[in-house]
Amino acid sequence: MDTSQIYSFSFPTDVRFGAGAVKELSAYLKSHNLSAPLIATDANVADLDFFKSIIENLKHANLNPTIFSEIHPNPVKSDVTLGIERYEAASCDSIIGIGGGAGMDVARAIALGANNKRDLFDYDDLIGGDKYVTEPIPHFITIPTTAGTGSEVGRSAIISEDETKKKRILFHPTLLAKMVFADPELTYELPAKITAATGMDALTHNMEAYLAKGFNPLCDGIALEGIRLIKASLETATNKPDEDSRAKMLIGSLMGAIAFQKGLGIVHSLAHPLSSLVDMHHGLANAISISKGLEFNIPGQEQKFSKIAQAMDLKDQSPTGVINALNELRSAVNIPDNLGSQGLTKEHIEELSDLAIKDFCHPSNPIGVKREDFKRIYESLI
């Protein structure tokens, strides 16, 4: 802590958490005089029974939802443009993002662009685009269906350029959801593979947030408890899911995303290029990268690793104990430990390293990362 500084802390999202919480949606909309929500989701979620049941409940309550589900797994700008067209065509009065990261990110970007009419990437946070967000954001609600991204409590959306697939980050404080309905029941049917990958993403958020530079003891406390909850439940949620493990994973992932307002780090910068270049699932990319990425962070962070080890309830509370436990957890949830398994070869390394060094996450890493560090880590993973 720098005692000459004045710090800001902000935890403003309203959350309704618990099995069955989503059943409150119709009453919530009515209480806010909203009747025509645009429901942004992905095609997989749109096909699931719980999604159909949410839509039925809204219609039953005489509400008029418009479904928009034509989005890419790693969403691109044209997805958002199409969503805004649907929002306008149906005279919607609110936006609900239902899904994993993709559905909620597209929903948030539609919320941004509904009334702010510049080119979407003019609002890119990295070029100071947040200053152009001057028009009101429609009433925005999020409903997570995976325990992973934590995007439900975020205030940014990651949208890629259509042609280059370069990820752009749209950020504004007003992009926070007005309400989150976090209902573990929506995750009960999540396949093991998705549970594992998204869960490892959530674990990475908590760990990277805790290790990130900067003074934010509120986020640190949340991140350590998030680590504890996820370590205690990910294996069960993946291999033998029950209500308790699903609930712990959902709240643990939500906590990870609250904590990472502090920043993320090297693991996410290793992972993002893998999604950009070969469309790898974000959680899977983090799961494969987490051990090597965190190993890089050990020097000077030994005390923090010991706190992580305590949160994970490990016998060996050394940094190596944490890395070993991560490898064991990844193996227990059937995720491979190398990128070769995903079709990556030595030929990809230079381009991956170019993208990683330009990524927006590693500046908050506790140790500065150079291009050659990324290159060395990618080489060790292939």
Applying CB under 5 A, the residues found at the interface with Fe ion are 201
Phi, psi of 124 (to 5 degrees): -55, 125
Task: Give the amino acid at 256.
Answer: G
CB of 217 to Fe ion, least distance (A): 22
CB of 132 to Fe ion, least distance (A): 26
For residues 105 and 201, which CB has a smaller minimum distance to Fe ion in the complex?
201
Task: Give the amino acid at 201.
Answer: D
For residues 42 and 201, which CB has a smaller minimum distance to Fe ion in the complex?
201
For residues 94 and 156, which CB has a smaller minimum distance to Fe ion in the complex?
156
Euclidean distance between CA atoms 248 and 232, whole angstroms: 8
Interior angle at CA 216, CA 215 and CA 218, nearest 5: 155
Euclidean distance between CA atoms 217 and 355, whole angstroms: 31
For residues 41 and 289, which CB has a smaller minimum distance to Fe ion in the complex?
289
CB of 54 to Fe ion, least distance (A): 25
Which of 254, 271, 60, 266 minimizes the C-alpha distance to 149? 254
For residues 201 and 359, which CB has a smaller minimum distance to Fe ion in the complex?
201
217-220: list long-range contacts, CB under 8 Å, 24+ apart: 218/9, 218/11, 219/258, 219/259, 219/260, 219/261, 219/262, 220/259, 220/262
CB of 286 to Fe ion, least distance (A): 6
Q: Which residue has the tokens 């330009």?
A: 358
Task: Give the amino acid at 69.
Answer: S
For residues 37 and 256, which CB has a smaller minimum distance to Fe ion in the complex?
256
Closest residue by beta carbon to Fe ion: 201
CB of 302 to Fe ion, least distance (A): 25
Q: How far is C-alpha 6 from the chain's CA centre?
A: 29
- For 334-372, the DSSP string reads T--S-SGGGT--GGGHHHHHHHHHH-SSGGGSSS---HH
Query: Could you tell me if 130 and 172 are in contact, meaning their C-beta atoms sit under 8 angstroms apart?
Result: yes
CB of 274 to Fe ion, least distance (A): 12
- Which residues have CB under 8 Å from 27's CB, separation 6+? 61
CB of 293 to Fe ion, least distance (A): 12
For residues 92 and 219, which CB has a smaller minimum distance to Fe ion in the complex?
219
Euclidean distance between CA atoms 292 and 358, whole angstroms: 19
**Which residues face 40 on adjacent strands?**
68, 97
For residues 116 and 297, which CB has a smaller minimum distance to Fe ion in the complex?
297
For residues 201 and 373, which CB has a smaller minimum distance to Fe ion in the complex?
201
CB of 256 to Fe ion, least distance (A): 8
CB of 201 to Fe ion, least distance (A): 4
For residues 29 and 200, which CB has a smaller minimum distance to Fe ion in the complex?
200
Tokens standing for residue 102? 């993709």
CB of 346 to Fe ion, least distance (A): 26
Task: Give the amino acid at 22.
Answer: V
Euclidean distance between CA atoms 94 and 110, whole angstroms: 10
The CB-side HSE value for 298 (13 A sphere, CA atoms) comes to 14
